[in-house]
């Protein structure tokens, strides 16, 4: 005949519950802090503020139509991508010398002239070129500055749609 000591079994069961609770607590803390560290690992580019408004984003189809109908518009390629038809390539505006070239190029432009800048190297939130160029246009008090809305890149938002490209780029 086997004698079962119930109080001892209950103590083991209580001890197992206590261990399970502690493990669950540690796992919960890990999940909470792991979630917080992932939130902090967001690409800093997505945290950049944009100097343009929604009204200052020019849709690619509209610019393509303006180019095709010979409307007067000044276009600057401020990145490292192919040139759109009629664009003047000043180089990557994230580089001091290219931004200075851009400043020199717009220095004599009328303040009410429509000026479009674009890069298209990558999505807006990661692009190092569009903010310095657009901030320069604002600082120079241009009343019609526009950023070409290439929110993905030049290939996806312009070239793949058959919009006009330059046969040879104009370099400054």
Same domain, 97 and 54: yes
Rounded to the nearest angstrom, the gap between the alpha carbon of residue 51 and the centroid of all alpha carbons in its chain is 13
> pLDDT, tens digit, for every residue of 67-80?
999 999 999 999 99
Tell whether pTM > 0.85.
Answer: no
Same domain, 80 and 33: no
The pLDDT score that the predictor gives to residue 73 is 93
The pLDDT score that the predictor gives to residue 124 is 82
Same domain, 37 and 100: no
Same domain, 17 and 67: no
In a domain, 56, yes or no: yes
In a domain, 154, yes or no: yes
Same domain, 95 and 123: yes
Domain residues for the domain of 162 are: 46-171
The pLDDT score that the predictor gives to residue 50 is 85
Segment holding 145, helix H or strand E: strand 145-148
Quote the number of domains for the chain. Answer: 2
In a domain, 98, yes or no: yes
Rg of the chain in Å (alpha carbons)? 29
In a domain, 74, yes or no: yes
How far is Cα 151 from Cα 159, in angstroms, rounded to an integer? 13
The pLDDT score that the predictor gives to residue 6 is 52
Residue 170 DSSP one-character state: E
The pLDDT score that the predictor gives to residue 10 is 54
The pLDDT score that the predictor gives to residue 18 is 72
The CATH number of the domain where 131 resides is what?
A: 3.40.250.10
Same domain, 70 and 15: no
The pLDDT score that the predictor gives to residue 99 is 95
> pLDDT, tens digit, for every residue of 113-148?
999 999 999 988 889 999 999 999 999 999 999 999
Low-confidence stretches of the chain (pLDDT beneath 70): 1-17, 20-48, 168-172
| Degrees, nearest 5: CA angle 145-58-103 | 30
Same domain, 31 and 78: no
Same domain, 15 and 91: no
The CB-side HSE value for 134 (13 A sphere, CA atoms) comes to 23
In a domain, 34, yes or no: yes
Same domain, 60 and 81: yes
Same domain, 25 and 96: no
Same domain, 53 and 133: yes
How far is Cα 120 from Cα 150, in angstroms, rounded to an integer? 6
3: left (phi over 0), alpha (psi -120 to 50) or beta: beta
The pLDDT score that the predictor gives to residue 14 is 64
Q: Which of 132, 128, 130, 167 is nearest to 150 (CA)?
A: 130
Q: The tokens of 113 are what?
A: 């002239």
Same domain, 158 and 81: yes
In a domain, 128, yes or no: yes
């Amino acid at each position: 005949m086997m004698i079962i000591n119930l109080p001892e079994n209950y103590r083991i069961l209580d001890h197992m519950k206590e261990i399970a609770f502690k493990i669950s607590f540690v796992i919960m803390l890990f999940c909470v802090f792991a979630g917080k560290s992932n939130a902090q690992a967001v690409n800093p580019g997505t945290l950049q503020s944009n100097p343009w408004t929604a009204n200052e984003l020019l849709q690619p189809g509209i610019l393509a139509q303006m180019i095709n109908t010979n409307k007067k518009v000044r276009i600057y390629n401020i990145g490292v991508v192919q040139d759109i038809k009629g664009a003047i390539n000043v180089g990557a505006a994230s580089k001091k010398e290219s931004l200075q070239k851009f400043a020199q190029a717009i220095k004599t432009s009328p303040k009410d002239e429509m000026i479009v800048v674009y890069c298209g190297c990558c999505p807006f939130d990661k692009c190092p070129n569009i903010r310095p160029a657009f901030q320069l246009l604002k600082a120079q008090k241009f009343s019609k500055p526009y950023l070409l809305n290439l929110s993905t890149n030049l290939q996806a938002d312009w070239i793949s749609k058959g919009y006009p490209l330059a046969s040879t780029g104009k370099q400054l």
